Each structure stands twice: as C-alpha cells, then as structure tokens.
Amino acid sequence: GIQVEQSPPDLILQEGANSTLRCNFSDSVNNLQWFHQNPWGQLINLFYIPSGTKQNGRLSATTVATERYSLLYISSSQTTDSGVYFCAVEETSGSRLTFGEGTQLTVNP
Amino acid sequence: GAVVSQHPSWVICKSGTSVKIECRSLDFQATTMFWYRQFPKQSLMLMATSNEGSKATYEQGVEKDKFLINHASLTLSTLTVTSAHPEDSSFYICSARTGGAGWVVNTEAFFGQGTRLTVV
C-alpha cells in the first residue's frame, strides 16, 4: 500500500511564528486532505487539495502531485493552533484514505 | 462542510459486554462509510469499509466477528464491539464521503466526533 510520511513529527513554536508541515507520499493519489485533530479528538477538515494551492485565512496548502508531496503553511500561529495535524491520501487504486503519522504542534504563549 | 455525527462520544463498559456506536451523515447520503481506530499518540488506522445494503469489507487483521458493522440506510452505519475486553479500549472514529450515493473516489471525507471506549 501507499506510504505517507509527515515531517516534522513534533514542532514547538512561540505564538506569532510561522511554520511549514510536510507530507510525502509514495504513489499517485486521487485525493489529499489535511486535518487538524483537536484535544478532544475531533478531526477538523483544513484542506481538500489533490493538487494546486489553496488558502484559508492564516493557513494555506500546496500539493505538487507530480513530485508526491504536500505542504501546509501556518502563519502567525496562535495557541489554538496546537494539536495534531494529519495528512491523508487516497490511492488511485481505491477509495480508502491512508493517514500519515501526524505532526504534533505546540504553540506557546 | 458536511456533517457526520457519531454517538456516543464516550462509553465505559464492563469486560464481556457489547457496545454499539452509531455514525450518521446528517446532510448527505453516504453509501460508503469508514471506521477507524486510534490508539493514544498514534495515527488513524482503517478498520473496515461499511457498504449500504451489503457486507462490510474488513482490513487485514481486524476480526469481523468482534467488530460487527451494519449499514442499513444511506445515512447510518453502526459498529458493535462484541464481548469487549480491555485491549479493545480505544478511540473509534467514523467517516463518510460526500460524493453522493454510489460515488466515493476522489471526494472529500468528513469525520464524526469519535467515540472513546473504555473497557473495565
């Protein structure tokens, strides 16, 4: 099956800093999504981005499908951005989403 | 975005009993839903794919007799953990895709709130 690698595994920031999270995948994909898992476990949809660039407020994402990676940018981070960020991809051979191991982000005041 | 509702949010049960978890798509039809399991500090692992009106497809290593899945309507899938044991304690999350009845590939996935199961 497809391999999904996220980096870094852990990231600690001061409030106001910017950061870039990376997701590499080993095969062609139909779909790529970024999620934020809050402290209660809820997965919040951030981006549905199989290719191209999207922006939503302080967050933006870019997927370069031909090079098999995606980046999530967080600007002017806030303490409420803390949590785990997951990248998930859907292989071209099927409908299942495969998750990366996540990036644990901690934003300190 | 689309709404997927999962119930209950948390449950504590005695070892040997069964627990049912419900997953509903509130504002769209979902012929296919997905059940995941997440252990502390780990990623989500797909357990099974739930298909409306037919048998679920289980991932390798997942016991189908222990984790019973029923998808009786286009908006409801249930996961029953039978004869629960402490090692079944985990966070269970369901997901549905928004492609409409019969279409799943390359559509956005939305997740329920999750159910934290503790077996004592």
Rounded Cα distance between A34 and A48, Å, is: 7
Cα angle at A3 between A37 and B93, to 5 degrees? 35
Residue A93 pLDDT grade (very low, low, confident, very high; cuts 50, 70, 90): confident
What percent of chain B clears pLDDT 70, i.e. is strictly above it?
Answer: 92
pLDDT at position B105 is 57
Rounded Cα distance between B51 and B10, Å, is: 25
- Burial A48-76, CB ≥16 within 10 A → b, else e: bbeeeeeeeeebbbbbebeebbbbbebee
Rounded Cα distance between B25 and B4, Å, is: 5
Residue B103 pLDDT grade (very low, low, confident, very high; cuts 50, 70, 90): low
Pairing state between β A103-108 and A10-14 = parallel
Residue of A33, A96, A102 with shortest CB distance to B49: A96
CA-nearest residue to A45 within chain B is B110
pLDDT at position B101 is 47
Give the number of other Cβ atoms within 10 Å of residue A87's Cβ: 31
- Enumerate chain B positions whose Cβ falls within 8 A of a Cβ in A: 1, 32, 34, 38, 42-46, 49, 91, 93, 95, 97, 104-111, 113-114, 116
Nearest C-alpha neighbor of A30 from the set A45, A48, A43: A48
Q: Tell me the per-residue pLDDT of A3-29, one tens digit each, with 9 for 90 and over.
A: 999 999 999 999 999 999 999 999 999
Those residues with Cβ within 8 angstroms of residue A67's Cβ, 6 or more apart along the chain or in another chain: none
pLDDT at position A2 is 92
Q: Tell me the per-residue pLDDT of B58-71, one tens digit each, with 9 for 90 and over.
A: 999 999 999 999 98
Those residues with Cβ within 8 angstroms of residue B76's Cβ, 6 or more apart along the chain or in another chain: B22, B23, B24
Q: What is the mean pLDDT of residues A62-75?
A: 97
Q: How is A16-55 classified by DSSP, letter by letter?
A: T--EEEEEEESS-EEEEEEEEE-TT-PEEEEEE-SSEEEE
CB contact at 8 A, A17 and A77: yes
Those residues with Cβ within 8 angstroms of residue B61's Cβ, 6 or more apart along the chain or in another chain: none
Q: Tell me the per-residue pLDDT of B31-50, one tens digit each, with 9 for 90 and over.
A: 889 999 999 999 999 999 98
Residue of B106, B110, B114 with shortest CB distance to A90: B106
Tokens of A84: 């785990």
